Structure 1
Amino acid sequence: MAKFLRVPHTLTLLFGMMVLAMIATWIVPQGFFETQTLANGRSAVVPGTFALVEERQYLSPWQLLTAIPRAFASAQDVIFFVMILGGVLSIARATGTVDALIGRLLTRFGEKPHMLIFMVVFCFAMASSAIGTAGEYIPFVLILVALCKAMRLDAMTAVGMTVAGYGIGYGVSAINPFTVIIAQQIAEVPVLSGMELRLAIFIPFVLIGFHHVWSYAKKVLADPANSMVADLPCPLGDKQTATYPQLALNHKLILASFVGTIAVVAYGIRVHGWYLYELSACFVAWGLFTAVVGRISTDTAAQKFIDGAMELTTTAMLIGVARGISLIMEDGQILHSLVHGMSLPLSYVGAEAAAVGMLVIQTLLNFFIPSGSGQAYVTMPLMVPLSDLLDIPRQVAVLAYQFGDGFSNMIIPTNAVLMGIIGIAGIPYGHWFRFCLPLLLKLMLAASVVLVLAVVFDYGDSVQPQTPAGANLSQPD
């Protein structure tokens, strides 16, 4: 019986989801909203314009197969970013910097793993909340895996603290330019308004994430057999490192340059709108600097880079196929149908229930639209007039979008960043799902309470526009 209940390989699971998505295009009514081009050049749907297609188009198995290479092309920026990071980090490992850093951290936190877990969750959540960092965490994964291994923890703990910080930071973000600011602009409420509530709930939600990861880590410390990945090989191999090199001057220079690279990346994202191509270039430059300072020959550095990139081939495959799921639904013209169908029931319930319903809908839609900004442009134009109709402040609709997009980022298999993180750590999606689902449910429950209270106390009512956004447009059907 256990054989039939076993979760399949992550790649098999993702391809199965592509097949299900293709079948859904044969069953779900095909339709679309009209779109309008905004001042920033992005397209947003127009409420009240949903229409079914005149004649259903059936995707064939051949189109399913061609969607796979198209998906790889669509996700090429993430795929190559991950592979470049793998190569660069392999060079850094060859200099002994990673081992020296782990040795120093063990000296400081070896007897206080709870402090390490809290610091990682808190710092990553702060960065995601402030500047929308996500893929930038991928370079830290193997370092945290190695550190956890040395502290008698496991790869799941390393990924747990990383992803919990990332997801919670997005969910309760105060100023994330890729989610909060875009959603507030569409809702026509002052940009960065309502920050007081988002700042107030930041620490409580971080503590929820920390408690979940630390509770698991304590079980692993008590008995390694409790590890959810005890049946899997460690991505770093089975070799135990008894001693660690001293943190020499060249190691410190490499670590300082790494911090500097992260700072340059953060500045470029915030000021110049950089994304993965520019981020990749920054890490290539850091890799070259590392090879020089670490006194590695050019041939050795080249081979280490290739070795590191090859180690992440599986991760690249997962990212590409994950993108194919949403690509199939776009080709089959059912993406807007799903958005339209999910929004309809909200008009028949009370304000408090509707606010929680918005959270549920945004969570479900994140599976189909894993881009935070993309989801804002598709869903917020529909949720804003709906919130006006139900006498819900638009600020609450923005908050529901944040919660739904951010928290579900931690578990949806169509999220390329998540698949990259668990792929690098060697954790199958099924194992990760079992670890993350309880955390997601805790966060969703807490978010529901916040939304209900926000409606009760008219959160955002003071900045509510007098004229409904898109007042010349009809309400959703």
Structure 2
Amino acid sequence: MTKWMRVPHTLTLLFSMMVLAMIATWIVPQGFFETQTLANGRSAVVPGTFALVEERQYLSPWQLLTAIPRAFASAQDVIFFVMILGGVLSVARATGTVDALIGRLLERYNNKPQMLIFMVVFCFAMASSFIGTAGEYIPFVLILVALCKAMRLDAMTAVGMTVAGYGIGYGISAVNPFTLVIAQQIADIPILSGWELRAAIFLPFVLIGFHHVWRYAKQVLANPANSMVADLPCPLGNNAQTSYPALTWAHRLILASFVFTIGVVAYNIRVNGWYLYELGAAFIAWGLFVTLVGKVQADIAASKFIAGAMELTTTAILIGVARGISLLMEDGQILHSLVHGMSMPLSYVGAEVAAVGMLIIQTLLNFFIPSGSGQAYVTMPLMVPLADLLEIPRQVAVLAYQFGDGFSNMIIPTNAILMGIIGIAGIPYGHWFRFCLPLMFKLMLASSVVLVLAVIFDYGDDVQPQAAVALATQAS
């Protein structure tokens, strides 16, 4: 590969995107929608209120630089969670629990790596679909990297099955409270309605993700030189481990407490609104429990924790800089302008094309608004009346939002969870982009077919509000 074709370092790439974002604020018309405060305290845009600002404000290169520390402050919850998690997992590895687990899994799946890949993709997709898990997958990354290394696979395979499960689960969500429920509330359709179609397409989409990862894994098994990360050092070192400790009762207790911690975190995220601060505290508590049960001396545990956190400093930096891209868009008042400009052409095309157009718009906007719930509050108030005018059921508009938000989570560099996952695995963003882009094309094609068929067969017509039906009739 020549130097002109070589993908730059991830930090270089992200900073270049920040520069482009600053330049975009000089060119793109600046404007905003009026917002209204909803019953839950969140703000949503008011359709039909977009207006350009009277006087353009130009962001300076100095503001570009100050956006970086501000972005670190804005993303501090993710940054500190990743570093805490790295430290706690380093303590867990000192007990031998991770190595014992890998040895046990190798006994069962060493000759059936395809079963392991399918189980991870399927289970992670189920969890994301039902309870909206995302950051909770970060603790599994190094374990899966170590397992894949022992099975003669690579870190890309480990990240591939993790992120495929996460993204597909969000895209084909059954009851995700952070995306589906919010979007359906804004669309004024029954909560969790339309689950039959989402349930029917869940397994086919999971199989698309599994096939993509397994096809790559087979190439690596056939020839390690086919690995996309063959030129990179393994985050766990390059020494091959040939023997693993036995899985003792202490190890089993530590693993059981890990599953218990994940369960407590998932429950409280949904019921009590926990997020990354509480997640960090929960894993610190688990780390203290591991230290006691694993009989790790306090000074050794402290050293392991600091070493584990230090290993993820690069990841933390990338997460902070990634947040700066969307921060500049907000400072330059072009975020709403992009939403408005992208939605305008949909009013001139047919219903089937418009449904696919909604998918494309939601996918592109996820780059600028990587928060799933945040994207719902900005885009759904605009897409719902547009769907009514085009005689597209609101349920289809919600489905387009789910597809666009969920699948693009797997590839956009502004997604802090993704940057954390690939950073822990030691995979540069450029390498990941080349691996994930074909999968994105497959999922976008499949979801476009689903949306066209949904329009043809009036998916969600049974829950369409009567006021929307009357509006569409009047418009036509």
| Counterpart position of 2:224 | 224
Deviations 1:203-251 (A, max 9, x none): 0000000000000000000000000000000000111111000001110
Q: How does 1:29-428 map to 2 (within 5 A)?
A: 29-428=29-428
Matches of 1:280 and 1:397 in 2, distance apart? 35
Matches of 1:139 and 1:235 in 2, distance apart? 14
Matches of 2:49 and 2:2 in 1, distance apart? 49
Deviations 1:333-362 (A, max 9, x none): 000000000000000000000000000000
| Counterpart position of 2:3 | 3
Q: Quote the offset at 1:58 in angstroms.
A: 0.2
Secondary structure, in 3 states, of the residue corresponding to 2:3? Answer: helix
Q: Give the paired residue count.
A: 472
Matches of 2:159 and 2:97 in 1, distance apart? 21
Matches of 1:351 and 1:271 in 2, distance apart? 38
Q: Quote the offset at 1:468 in angstroms.
A: 3.3
| Counterpart position of 1:19 | 19
Q: Quote the offset at 1:40 in angstroms.
A: 0.2
Q: Quote the offset at 1:60 in angstroms.
A: 0.3
Deviations 1:407-434 (A, max 9, x none): 0000000000000000000000000000
Structure 2 counterpart of 1:219, one-letter code = Q
Matches of 2:227 and 2:112 in 1, distance apart? 19
Q: Quote the offset at 1:130 in angstroms.
A: 0.4
Structure 1 counterpart of 2:107, one-letter code = T
Secondary structure, in 3 states, of the residue corresponding to 1:5? Answer: coil
Secondary structure, in 3 states, of the residue corresponding to 1:8? Answer: coil
Q: Which moved more, 1:271-280 or 1:325-334?
A: 271-280
Secondary structure, in 3 states, of the residue corresponding to 2:236? Answer: coil
Matches of 2:14 and 2:270 in 1, distance apart? 33
Q: Quote the offset at 1:273 in angstroms.
A: 1.0
Structure 1 counterpart of 2:279, one-letter code = L
Matches of 1:335 and 1:269 in 2, distance apart? 28
Matches of 1:90 and 1:468 in 2, distance apart? 55
Matches of 1:410 and 1:81 in 2, distance apart? 20
Structure 1 counterpart of 2:383, one-letter code = M
Matches of 1:121 and 1:453 in 2, distance apart? 26
Matches of 1:278 and 1:228 in 2, distance apart? 36
Matches of 2:153 and 2:241 in 1, distance apart? 14
Matches of 2:266 and 2:17 in 1, distance apart? 34
Q: Which runs of 5+ in 2 are unaligned?
A: none
Matches of 1:318 and 1:145 in 2, distance apart? 20
Structure 2 counterpart of 1:59, one-letter code = L
Q: Quote the offset at 1:289 in angstroms.
A: 0.2
Structure 1 counterpart of 2:300, one-letter code = T
| TM-score, scaled to structure 2 | 0.98
| TM-score, scaled to structure 1 | 0.98
Q: Quote the offset at 1:312 in angstroms.
A: 0.3
Secondary structure, in 3 states, of the residue corresponding to 2:36? Answer: strand
Secondary structure, in 3 states, of the residue corresponding to 2:468? Answer: coil
Structure 1 counterpart of 2:22, one-letter code = M
Secondary structure, in 3 states, of the residue corresponding to 1:3? Answer: coil
Structure 1 counterpart of 2:371, one-letter code = S
Structure 2 counterpart of 1:410, one-letter code = M
Could you list the runs of 4 or more consecutive aligned residues of structure 1 that deviate by over 6 angstroms after TM superposition?
none
| Match status 1:446 vs 2:446 | yes
Structure 2 counterpart of 1:67, one-letter code = A
Secondary structure, in 3 states, of the residue corresponding to 1:202? Answer: helix
Structure 2 counterpart of 1:251, one-letter code = H
RMSD: 1.1
Structure 2 counterpart of 1:102, one-letter code = I
| Match status 1:430 vs 2:420 | no
Secondary structure, in 3 states, of the residue corresponding to 1:258? Answer: helix
Matches of 1:5 and 1:160 in 2, distance apart? 24
Secondary structure, in 3 states, of the residue corresponding to 1:4? Answer: coil
